[in-house]
Amino acid sequence: AQKITQTQPGMFVQEKEAVTLDCTYDTSDPSYGLFWYKQPSSGEMIFLIYQGSYDQQNATEGRYSLNFQKARKSANLVISASQLGDSAMYFCAMREGLGFQKLVFGTGTRLLVSP
């Protein structure tokens, strides 16, 4: 079964608007971490934001916030005030358990920001 599901292959948003990228996950481990990465056309993977399963508040990093709904097993990325430079692939990933880290990635969402 898929551990990380990103159902949106592509998303479009206008500059300065907010956009939500969906991510659902599947785990029976009570301890896990959720990550979002950005991959521009150059191919590099850029870490954006992290949410731990025991964190009480939603994570925020500048224009990025993570809408963490534990009961629904969803960890959606919200980008506020989109910029042209936000156009990229976005990947959701999960680490299960404590200790050694092994990240499992979703298939990604391609975001296009238009002027």
- Applying CB under 8 A, the residues found at the interface with another protein are 33, 35, 37, 42-45, 47, 50, 52, 91, 93, 95, 98, 100-108
Least distance in angstroms from the C-beta of 67 to another protein: 18
Extended strands (E) in the chain: 4-5, 10-14, 19-21, 24-25, 32-39, 46-52, 60-61, 64-69, 74-79, 88-96, 103-105, 109-114
Pick between residue 84 and residue 98 the one whose CB is nearest to another protein.
Answer: 98
CB of 79 to another protein, least distance (A): 18
